[in-house]
Chains A and B, each alone.
Chain A
Amino acid sequence: MDILTLLEKGFWLGCAALGFAVLFNAPKRALMMVFIIGALGGLVKIVMVSKGIWLVFSVFSGATLIGFLSVLAAHNRKAPPMIFAIPAVIPMIPGFFAYKAMVGIIELTATKDPQAYSKLFFETVNNGLSAWFVVLALGTGVAIPMLITRRQTVKRLNADDNLEVESE
């Protein structure tokens, strides 16, 4: 894939992420970061898929990159990481698989012929499972960097020995 195609795809990925950031009313200081993070994460997935790597793993890698960049951006722009991460991963959401699976399930209820049914069933389960695993990969990919970098955010101002006894 040449560099120009990648740049173009990156631009559209960024636009998609930006649109959702505005829909979710993200603060203005986050918008530029969301564009960049969304484009980079999506490009990782596109390049990996074009190299023939398993879709779910490609999505996981893209989402992990988005998670790490969001944590960095969160320190830079003083906003929680999820504000960057969620709009940025939305271009990777498996809308097409979910659509095919949903329509497939509805069509299954209207199919009687066993031959057609088994073909449709095969496709529907395949699309549905792909959608499910891509969503899982997105969620875990984004969450892992935040779990790794999560520091002790609760600062107790005084010692609470008695509470610890109670909670045990």
Chain B
Amino acid sequence: MDTHAASPITKYELGELLLEIGTLLMVSGANTERIKVTIDRIASAFGCFTNLMVTNHALTLTLTHQDSRKAFTSVKWIPSHHLNFNLIADISAMSWRIVLEKWSVERINHELATLNRKQLYPRWLVLTLVALAGASFCRLFGGNATEMVAVFVASFCGLYVRQEAIKMKFNFYLSIFFAATTASLIAGFYFHFNPDEVYMHAFSTSVLFLIPGVPMIHAVSDLMDGNTLNGIIRAVNVLLMAFGIACGLLVSLLIYKF
């Protein structure tokens, strides 16, 4: 074990670094156990021990080293979540290399700065593929070609509205409501003027691109891992998002009087 790890300055830097990594993981959509394991793994490479409290909006970390009595403790706020699985995969791979290749704090900081935090895919591709996913849902629920086209257009516009609303810093749930309203209005438009066709499939699947799948799965996995509080927070979050979607649908139902 190299001796520099024990010095208070390094411990301060390491603590800040670990909080930064934990924040990035939480924002990108990792579950609580993964954050704990990754931070523990990196700290163990420096011979340090961590006590970490993970909540949805803040991380608290206490870092101790067996040779010294001084501890590093700090709280870091987590900004609003923005899913990025690529970043999670990169950080996970990096954490292993840190342990195996015995990186220094400077090296980790340098690598962390070079990680790709941007979207891998161009915006039009994301919009098209998510719209295609919506159309696939429609097909799986028994829709025909007309309904699939309606859902494709609806999901495309709905996701565009959500991206724009989040860019304009609207409330998160409000932007989901906007997106659900847009999508269901567009999906219902064609069927409003052709009342003899079945609207049900297109209408109910047009908002499925908004389903909060990541917090839904993480709520269950956090509860199973014993991180009960985080699991409950995520579950409540899912309910609020579902409520936003339902309100959007309701607006369209009232407008079109289906």
Contact = CB atoms under 8 A, between A and B. Distances in A.
B256 interface: no
Contacts of A139: 216-217, 219-221, 223-224
Interface in B72-88: 83-88
B119 A142 contact: no
A93 B210 CA distance: 12
A89 B214 CA distance: 10
Interface residues of B, number: 64
Given A99-B249, A135-B216, A143-B224, A25 B136 contact: no
B137 interface: yes
A160 B216 contact: no
A154 B34 CA distance: 11
A163 B211 contact: no
Contact of B84 (A15, A24, A155, A157): A24
Given A27-B86, A147-B224, A157-B1, A98 B242 contact: yes
A54 B30 CA distance: 31
B120 A27 contact: yes
Contact of A95 (B40, B85, B139, B211): B211
* Residue of A23, A91, A106 with most chain B CB atoms under a 10 A cut-off: A23
Given A27-B85, A86-B214, A19 B41 contact: no
B34 A80 contact: yes
Interface in A73-110: 78-80, 82-83, 85-87, 89-91, 93, 95-96, 98-99, 102-103, 106
B45 interface: yes
Interface string B238-258: 000011011001100100000
Given A19-B132, A103-B250, A154-B40, A25 B137 contact: no
Nearest to A17: B133
Contacts of B41: 153-155
Contact of A25 (B66, B84, B224): B84
Interface in A114-168: 135-136, 138-140, 142-143, 147, 153-158, 160, 162-163
A164 B126 CA distance: 48
B64 to A, nearest CB: 8
Contact of B136 (A15, A85, A153, A156): A15
A93 B130 contact: no
Contacts of B224: 139-140, 143, 147
B137 A91 contact: yes
Contacts of A28: 120
Interface in B32-69: 34, 37, 40-41, 44-45, 47, 49, 66
Contact of B129 (A19, A82, A147): A19
Interface of A: 9, 12-13, 15-28, 30, 42, 78-80, 82-83, 85-87, 89-91, 93, 95-96, 98-99, 102-103, 106, 135-136, 138-140, 142-143, 147, 153-158, 160, 162-163
13 contacts: A12-B139, A19-B209, A24-B84, A26-B85, A27-B86, A82-B31, A89-B217, A93-B208, A95-B208, A96-B205, A102-B242, A139-B223, A140-B220
Interface of B: 1, 29-31, 34, 37, 40-41, 44-45, 47, 49, 66, 83-90, 92-93, 99, 119-121, 125-126, 129-137, 139-141, 159, 204-205, 207-209, 211, 213-214, 216-217, 219-221, 223-224, 242-243, 245-246, 249-250, 253
Q: Which 9 A-B pairs have the closest CB atoms?
A: A139-B220, A19-B133, A102-B246, A12-B136, A79-B89, A16-B136, A15-B136, A26-B85, A90-B213
Given A102-B245, A138-B217, 13 more contacts: A18-B133, A19-B130, A23-B126, A23-B133, A79-B92, A82-B88, A82-B217, A91-B136, A95-B211, A99-B245, A102-B243, A103-B250, A140-B220
